[in-house]
Chains A and B, each alone.
Chain A
Amino acid sequence: MHPAYSVIIFTCASGAGYGLLGWLALSAIRGSALERPFTLGLIAFGVAFALITAGLLASTSHLGRPERAWRAFSQWRTSWLSREGVMAVATYGVGGLYALLWLWGDVGGGWPLALLGLLTLVCVLATLWCTGMIYASLKTIRAWHHDLVAPLYVLFGVVTGRLLLNAIVAVVGSGLSTTAIWVTLLLLLTAWIAKAAYWSNIDTARRTHTAGDATGLGRFGVVRPLDPPHTRANFVMREMGYEVARRHADRLRQIAALLLFIAPALLTLLMLVASPELVILLALAAVVSAAAGVAVERWLFFAEAEHVVTLYYGRDAA
């Protein structure tokens, strides 16, 4: 599949933004948001909503008619893309209210904050899930129609959001707790294992459809393209027949694993023994590394995915 930059930016940036918002929501549920440090909240909510908005705006540039994007809220009954749009708006509403209450609200016992936090968390997870399901629901793309795709979208949002929160807490907060560091390490490890399992799974899974099935001509023997229907690549080939990055898939997977999991994990581990000033540097480095890593991972997610339609264009099996 052709990796559209706008969609890569969207899923990476919004994913991290939703993840960060989710962690902020969780702090209310756990009760630790009762102190509600203003500067930290302002920066953290600001970064979260800025990333979410930047990603959503980037995604509209993928559209042929972005001025009609509002129409995408209507078909939530059947379309995961529409559901994602609806959930994104809902998250703005609920999450925005939660942010306002956190920053300026006069809440005594804290339960309104906890309730809104819970709703925000649900919205965040649902939005990330919808993003994953846009891809996971497509039966035509074997590597996407996989049980781990939607959970991985959620997990990567949560992990990159956590790294962002760590950096913000390190810079403007009261320093990172040991628990926060161990939670981060556990999440990075989980994400790495899940992604490695996904990669090994799509590599070994059988390609079930053949050119013989696609044309129905398999009964006569092997089907080979003789004359293409067009002299230059058409839309279908440009969009679905993208193969450039596949040559480097193994190397790019190693790079993604290094930048997205290994480097952030080592940097986070070092925070256990580093001075507060160094922790700031380590946390920021982890964010930069994971951002680059998730971009490579997302690029591969598209570039490695084979579409069934390529069977008509010379692929043996998909």
Chain B
Amino acid sequence: MTTLPPPSKKKLGLVIDLDTCVGCQACATSCKEWNTQSAISGPLNDEDPYGADPHGTWLNRVHSYEVGEGETGRTVHFPRSCLHCEEPACVTVCPTGASYKRAEDGIVLVNPDTCIGCKLCSWACPYGAREYDYTQGVMKKCTLCVDRIYNETFAPEDRVPACVKACPTGARHFGDLGDVDSAVSKLVASRDGYDLLPEMGYKPVNKYLAPRPKAAPVVAASAPAARPIAVPAEETGTTTARFFAWADKLLTR
């Protein structure tokens, strides 16, 4: 059912500390490793993995940004995954009910057996959290490792999402953000944790902690901003590609 359940008391989610994240990609790779074998999200297929244009389904991506100028400038590593919003538009737009928000803990999931692969949920998400699996024809997203966190065959300390377990700097915290006395809630309160794009109104559960103020100014050298990677041109040689090459030439004239 894509109708949202009443707000749950329990709001499981992540708190990501941008002050300590070193951008090592361990969370992203361990996420891929765990979830590709998971019955809920897996397999996370890759397309053309050893070819010219490799890409694949990942549930967690780590960006690196340059922020500010000169002495106040800094590099910030920024992990991005599903925020398990309290009012997720990705769920309500789903025509089949494959996308749903769990009433008991607020985790947003996709049922891979009923998803029709219309991709509308990925359009509705401002955070780019959902990635389409081209091989399977269904949408994939972070499950908050629902098959780890409740897994009684695991030692209690391992009952956390794979990304949290893998983080070498302790930049990722997992817990109940609906409980004001939980460790994560206290952490958010003490560090002024914030929402991404709060004005859009989806009420993300996951919180981010801003980098702390810099201790002392350093001598900065200005570097040119990296160019964003380009979307590859459509395959060359096909009739459509030749048509668009022709149209491009004609319109540029």
Contacts and interface: CB of A to CB of B under 8 A. Distances in A.
A85 interface: yes
A223 B67 contact: yes
Interface stretch (B5-13, B129-137, B164-172, B177-185): B129-137
Given A77-B3, A232-B55, A235-B57, A226 B64 contact: yes
B139 to A, nearest CB: 8
Interface string B193-235: 0111101110000001011000000000000011011111100
Contacts of A206: none
Identify the 3 closest CB pairs spanning chains A and B, nearest first.
A64-B117, A64-B137, A221-B68
A66 B138 CA distance: 11
B16 to A, nearest CB: 10
Interface of B: 1-4, 18, 23, 28, 53-58, 61-69, 72-76, 78, 80, 89, 91-98, 114-120, 122-128, 131-134, 136-139, 194-197, 199-201, 208, 210-211, 225-226, 228-233, 244, 248, 251-252
A252 interface: yes
Contacts of A235: 55, 57, 122, 131-132, 134
Given A227-B23, A232-B229, A251-B251, A309 B93 contact: no
Main secondary structure of the interface of A (DSSP, over half): mixed
A141 interface: yes
A237 to B, nearest CB: 6
Nearest to A74: B97
B137 A65 contact: yes
Given A229-B80, A314-B228, A1 B66 contact: no
B96 A74 contact: yes
Contacts of A214: 126, 196-197
Given A64-B132, A64-B137, A137-B93, A240 B123 contact: yes
Contacts, number: 236
Given A216-B210, A217-B67, A65 B138 contact: yes
A68 B232 CA distance: 30
Contacts of B1: 75
Q: Which of B122, B131, B199 has the most CB of A within 10 A?
A: B122
Contacts of B251: 248, 251-252
Contacts of A82: 95-96
A62 B117 CA distance: 8
A229 B62 contact: yes
Contacts of A79: 2, 92-95, 120
Given A217-B210, A233-B232, A240-B128, A138 B67 contact: no
30 contacts: A63-B116, A64-B116, A64-B117, A64-B136, A64-B139, A68-B114, A74-B96, A75-B97, A79-B120, A85-B95, A138-B93, A138-B123, A138-B124, A215-B76, A216-B210, A217-B67, A220-B211, A223-B65, A229-B63, A233-B231, A235-B131, A237-B229, A238-B231, A241-B231, A244-B231, A308-B200, A312-B63, A312-B80, A312-B127, A314-B228
SS of B interface (majority): loop
A222 B63 CA distance: 15
Interface string A235-279: 111111111100010011000000000000000000000000000
Contact of A221 (B23, B63, B69, B137): B69
Contacts of A64: 115-119, 132-134, 136-139
A248 B78 CA distance: 34
A215 B116 contact: no
A134 interface: yes
Contacts of A252: 251
A241 B122 CA distance: 12
Nearest to A67: B116
A39 interface: no
Interface in A74-96: 74-75, 77-82, 85
Given A217-B211, A244-B233, 20 more contacts: A64-B117, A68-B116, A81-B95, A81-B120, A139-B201, A140-B89, A215-B78, A216-B194, A217-B76, A220-B68, A224-B67, A232-B54, A234-B61, A235-B57, A235-B132, A239-B122, A240-B122, A248-B252, A312-B127, A313-B228
